[in-house]
């Protein structure tokens, strides 16, 4: 057992994510990208989630990167399923954005977001926890960056879509989680963060 109290399996996932995200940094900032999966692990552990869910949370961005790059299901199974369990891979595939729909038609950025939210309806509880924790960390990190800056516009610009589209996305995530019955306290925390984000820059 490590000094952090994580199991060997979680530490293996963290080491795997560290290797995958090596040299990556959070968009527009200097902190290494590994801070994201590490903090998602903390969030899920804080809520008493199982090792399976924590491992999925750690690997969410790894699998998202691989899917975005067009990695085949066979390679995903070899790189993730065989190392961390096929159930963990299934949890992640259920909620990471897809490049294409079931008919192989490539999705636009907006379509990928809508598709991800749609698929939450059939996703497992573990997948919903994984997705919700990832969204909570992303929203909370954005809120922390906004609180530290004297120029909120520069932070909103880093999000890509900008303030209005980013806020709309987090509101949609929050509503969709509610609609599919995800009522864990984590959902309340996400709602609180989204409400605070909406107030940034409002006179």
Dihedral angle at the C-alpha atoms of 2, 124, 19, 81, nearest 10 degrees? 100
Q: What's the pTM value of the predicted model, to 2 decimals?
A: 0.90
With beta carbons less than 8 A apart as the criterion, state whether 179 and 118 touch.
Answer: no
pLDDT at position 113 is: 95
Q: How far apart are CA 84 and CA 27, in angstroms?
A: 28
The distance in angstroms from the start CA to the end CA of the chain is: 50
Mean pLDDT to the nearest integer, 87-114: 94
Query: 203 pLDDT exceeds 50?
Result: no
**Which is more confidently placed, 32 or 13?**
13
pLDDT digits (tens, 9 = 90+) for 53-95: 999 999 999 999 999 989 999 999 999 999 999 999 999 999 9
Query: 5 pLDDT exceeds 80?
Result: no
Domains and their CATH numbers in the chain: 8-199 (1.10.3210.10)
pLDDT at position 201 is: 60
Phi then psi for 153, rounded to 5 degrees? -60, -35
Q: Return the structure tokens found at 11.
A: 């530490």
Q: What is the 3-state secondary structure (H, E, C) of the chain?
A: CCCCCCCHHHHHHHHHHHHHCCCCECCCCCCECCHHHHHHHHHHHHCCCCHHHHHHHHHHHHHHHHHHCCCCHHHHHHHHHHHHCHHHHHHHHCCCCCCECCCCCECCHHHHHHHHHHHCCCCCHHHHHHHHHHHHHHHHHHHHHHHHCCCHHHHHHHCCCCHHHHHHHHHHHHHHHHHCCCCCHHHHHHHHHHHHHHHCCCC
pLDDT digits (tens, 9 = 90+) for 141-189: 999 989 988 888 888 888 887 899 999 999 999 999 999 999 999 999 9
pLDDT digits (tens, 9 = 90+) for 130-141: 999 999 999 999
Q: How far apart are CA 92 and CA 86, in angstroms?
A: 10
């Amino acid at each position: 057992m490590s000094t952090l109290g994580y199991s060997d399996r979680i530490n293996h996932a963290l080491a795997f994510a560290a290797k995958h995200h090596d040299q990556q940094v959070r968009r527009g900032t200097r902190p290494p990208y590994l801070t994201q999966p590490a903090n998602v692990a903390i969030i899920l552990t804080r809520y008493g989630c199982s090792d399976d869910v924590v491992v999925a949370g750690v690997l969410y961005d790894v699998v998202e990167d691989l899917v975005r790059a067009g990695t085949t299901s066979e390679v995903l199974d070899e790189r993730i399923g065989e190392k961390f369990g096929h159930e963990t891979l299934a949890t992640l595939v259920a909620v990471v954005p897809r490049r294409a729909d079931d008919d192989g038609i490539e999705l636009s950025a907006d379509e990928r977001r809508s598709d991800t939210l749609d698929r939450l309806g059939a996703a497992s509880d573990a997948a919903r926890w994984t997705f919700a924790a990832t969204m909570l960390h992303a929203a909370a990190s954005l809120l922390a960056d906004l609180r530290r800056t004297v120029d909120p516009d520069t932070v909103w610009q880093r999000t890509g879509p900008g303030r209005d589209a980013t806020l709309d996305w987090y509101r949609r995530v929050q509503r969709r989680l509610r609609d599919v019955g995800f009522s864990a306290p984590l959902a309340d925390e996400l709602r609180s963060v989204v409400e605070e984000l909406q107030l940034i820059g409002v006179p």
